[in-house]
Amino acid sequence: MSDLLELLVSASASGCIYGLVALAYLLVLRPTGIVNFAVGEWAMIGAFAAYLLSAGLGLPSILVIPGAALLMAILGWATEWSVVRPLVVRGAGHLAPILVLLGMLVIYHQIMLWRFGADQFPLEGPFGFRRVELGPIAGTPQSFFIIVTTLAVFGAVWLFFERTVWGKSFEAVAINRRAAALMGINLRMVTALAFAGGAAIAGIAGLLDAPRGSLEVNMALPLAIQGFSALVIGGVNRVEGALLGGIILAFAEDLTRRYVPIPSGLSLGVTPLLLIIFLMVRPNGLLRAREAG
Amino acid sequence: MGALGQLGMKWVLRWGLVTALLCALPFVLQPYELDIYRKLLFWVALAVSYNFLFGIAGQMALSHFAFAGIGGYTVVILLTQADLGLGLAIIAALLLAGILAFIVSFAATRLEGFYLALATLAFAQLLIVVLDEGGTLTGGTGGLTSYSLPAVFGTKIEGPWYALVMVGVLLGTLAILLRIDRSWFGRACRAIRDNTEAAAAMGVDVARTKIIAFTLTSVMAAAAGMVYAFFDNTVNPPVFGLENAFLLLFMVIVGGSGSHAGAIIGAVLLKLSQDILEPVVGHFHAIGFGVLVVAAILFQPKGLIGTWDNLRARMKRAKGGKGVK
């Protein structure tokens, strides 16, 4: 039983990471319709940024997350400004920004490989490798930290969408781009903010994930695929969907790995299998869009 | 005369020359160059069929290399573990690839844009998982090795002669797709790519056209993969993984998606630059692919072939201008 409970904690932590990556997809996808496959690279770069800020600059750990998130927001903004905006202005097809971001994915990845190599950087979370017990629930401090931080991020994003004019304008653009523009919403600003926010959240996902396993350049692609799977499972229509999808995906993965008697290599097939099933059977995800009004 | 006469002497001459050149090259190349040459042919064959799928039919699938892998692995497994004859093994492998492609193609009828890309990417990943965990059947992560192509009618096809098989697959792929591209089917594919609703309204059976395009090109990929399996008498999972699937996509974009010549140019350029640069700068050469793709989409969505067409048009205009003077 305690074994199961401990598994649930670590699975929840994984689910939170996937949920954050899914949220990074969602922030860009909702207002712009662009599936940004480079979020995995953004997560990896965010993890390295945090590593450099804390180990290199010696920044106190409380400032590392905001610092890395700020750097990532700048990177996201710069990406939007340099390669996405020209395509939107020109009115290129809907696939063009997606393909250009695939190209950027390769550029990010190769620059990071060139700078840091493919080696794994052993990384210690801010809390070391202790064990925390809350009644019957036990886990690593990093797991609890991930869960708390993720809930905070989701809470902030939820408040942003529900309580601020900017959040409402995001929703308006998602529902009807042209009508939103006619109502005086600045589409450029919304797109730029979406990319900046998406990159910041992806970066947070990466820097939370790295101390659990290892910090390495090749952590990017798995995160991109798992995050997208979480997004598809939860549905692209609502912020909560990203978290729900992440949790479901992580539980499916971890429970299969732990309790289903198949070679551990085969359990890697769970994510692609779930992705295919949901894309084919329920392409809009589990959560339905909220009624307008 | 008949058919040949209709096609015209110029056509026969041009393609005869190309065929002769492609067939003659293996016999003058050094062994190392020959290896690069036949792998280049393999990539070009895949790029040509992928261009039809992505550039002409508008289906952004990332499963093309997976189907090459299915073709290669199946034919080897049937030959060495099921003791089938070569002809039967080839037919069975193509059939299996066709059936799998037919099943996967239903994703293409339901998903658009990058959603199809990720569904097919998931399929490709599943295949890699199966290959990695297939035990003795697939050889696990190390793949299958030390088998050889059985003799055909008592002769062993080796060295430069085997490169001709790849030339045959490439030219066959190209011939079929060029022919189809000019038929109603090719026009239906382009119509669906450009405006699915309009195509459907004009009476094009969208689902059927998509399924046929996906299945046909995937079987072509499987055929190329079968030939590839006997290049070095080894097949392993990484070759058919995601990295190459993305590279194939980049080749078609850089060369000019939707254009057969563009796909060929893109494949030759990117593959050769990889072969030349990788020993010098290591894996870092791949950054060039990213830069080329970004540049192509930002500045020349029609790819290198588009630049070439523009250049030719400008030269023609310049000539014409002089004539008027």
pLDDT at A61: 78
Closest residue in A to B115 (Cα) is: A279
The vertex-A234 CA angle with A156 and A259, nearest 5°, equals 110
Mean pLDDT of B156-164: 87
Distance, in Å, from the CA atom of B138 to the CA atom of B120, rounded to the nearest integer, reads: 21
- What DSSP letter does each residue of B100-145 carry, written as one string? HHHHHHHHHHH--HHHHHHHHHHHHHHHHHHHHH-TTTTTGGG-EE
> Domain coordinates of chain B in residue numbers?
21-146+155-241
Q: Phi, psi (5° rounding) for residue B149?
A: -70, 125
Quote the DSSP letter at residue A92: -
Residue spans of beta strands (DSSP E) within chain B: 144-145, 234-235
The tokens for A183 are 């109502």
Tell me: pLDDT of B156 over 60: yes
pLDDT at A138: 75
CB contact under 8 A, A100 and B298: yes
Using N-to-C axis directions, what is the helix angle for B159-181 and B260-281, rounded to 10°? 140
Mean pLDDT of B227-246: 92
pLDDT at A149: 94
Sole residue written with tokens 């593959």: B271
Which of A98, A225, A276 is closest, CB to CB, to B113?
A: A98
Q: Measure in Å the smallest separation between the Cα of B291 and chain A Cα atoms.
A: 7
Distance, in Å, from the CA atom of A126 to the CA atom of A140, rounded to the nearest integer, reads: 11
Positive or negative: CA dihedral A12, A14, A17, A23: negative
SS3 B209: helix
pLDDT at A276: 92
Q: Which residues of A touch B119 (CB under 8 A)?
A: 275-276, 279-280
Q: Which residues of B touch A265 (CB under 8 A)?
A: 129, 132-133
Which of B111, B133, B297 is closest, CB to CB, to A103?
A: B297
Q: Measure in Å the smallest separation between the Cα of B259 and chain A Cα atoms.
A: 17
Positive or negative: CA dihedral A96, A37, A235, A148: negative
Distance, in Å, from the CA atom of B26 to the CA atom of A98, rounded to the nearest integer, reads: 40
Mean pLDDT of B244-248: 94
% of chain A residues with pLDDT over 70: 93
B137 Cβ under 8 Å from any chain A Cβ: no
What digits encode the pLDDT tens for the residues B269-317?
A: 999 999 888 888 777 788 989 999 999 999 988 889 988 988 999 988 8
H or E stretch including A171?
Answer: helix A165-175
First to last CA, chain B: 44
SS3 B231: coil
The tokens for B35 are 């290896």
The amino acid at residue B278 is: E
- How many Cβ atoms from other residues are within 10 Å of residue B322's Cβ? 8
Sole residue written with tokens 């093994």: B89
Q: How confident is the model at residue A130 (pLDDT cuts 50, 70, 90)?
A: low
pLDDT at A151: 96
Tell me: pLDDT of A121 over 60: yes
Mean pLDDT of B103-109: 91
Q: How confident is the model at residue A127 (pLDDT cuts 50, 70, 90)?
A: low
By CB neighbour count within 10 A (0-12 exposed, 13-18 middle, 19+ buried), where does B239 fall? middle
Distance, in Å, from the CA atom of A158 to the CA atom of B304, rounded to the nearest integer, reads: 45
Mean pLDDT of A129-141: 72
Which of A114, A268, A280 is closest, CB to CB, to B284?
A: A114
Q: Measure in Å the smallest separation between the Cα of A102 and chain B Cα atoms.
A: 8
CB contact under 8 A, A110 and B111: no
pLDDT at A105: 96
In this predicted complex, what is the ipTM?
0.89
Tell me: pLDDT of B90 over 80: yes
The tokens for A189 are 């600003």
Q: Measure in Å the smallest separation between the Cα of A215 and chain B Cα atoms.
A: 20
CB contact under 8 A, B123 and A95: no
CB contact under 8 A, A283 and B110: yes
Distance, in Å, from the CA atom of B36 to the CA atom of B164, rounded to the nearest integer, reads: 14
Closest residue in A to B131 (Cα) is: A266
The tokens for B187 are 């026009």
Q: Measure in Å the smallest separation between the Cα of B162 and chain A Cα atoms.
A: 35
Residue spans of beta strands (DSSP E) within B60-202: 144-145
Which of A92, A105, A268 is closest, CB to CB, to B301?
A: A92
pLDDT at A186: 84
- pLDDT averaged over chain A? 88
Tell me: pLDDT of A231 over 50: yes
Distance, in Å, from the CA atom of B134 to the CA atom of B283, rounded to the nearest integer, reads: 29
Q: Does residue A276 contact residue A48 with C-beta atoms inside 8 Å?
A: no
pLDDT at B171: 96
Q: Which residues of B touch A228 (CB under 8 A)?
A: 118
Mean pLDDT of B29-42: 93
Mean pLDDT of A127-135: 67
Quote the DSSP letter at residue B241: S
Q: Does residue B301 contact residue B309 with C-beta atoms inside 8 Å?
A: no
Tell me: pLDDT of B136 over 90: no
Using N-to-C axis directions, what is the helix angle for B286-299 and A95-116, rounded to 10°? 150
Q: Phi, psi (5° rounding) for residue A133?
A: -120, 125
Q: Does residue A214 contact residue B235 with C-beta atoms inside 8 Å?
A: no
Tell which wins on pLDDT, B321 or B178: B178
Q: Phi, psi (5° rounding) for residue A134?
A: -120, 90
Tell me: pLDDT of A284 over 90: no
Q: How confident is the model at residue B1 (pLDDT cuts 50, 70, 90)?
A: very low
The tokens for A264 are 């551990």
Q: Does residue B206 contact residue B195 with C-beta atoms inside 8 Å?
A: no
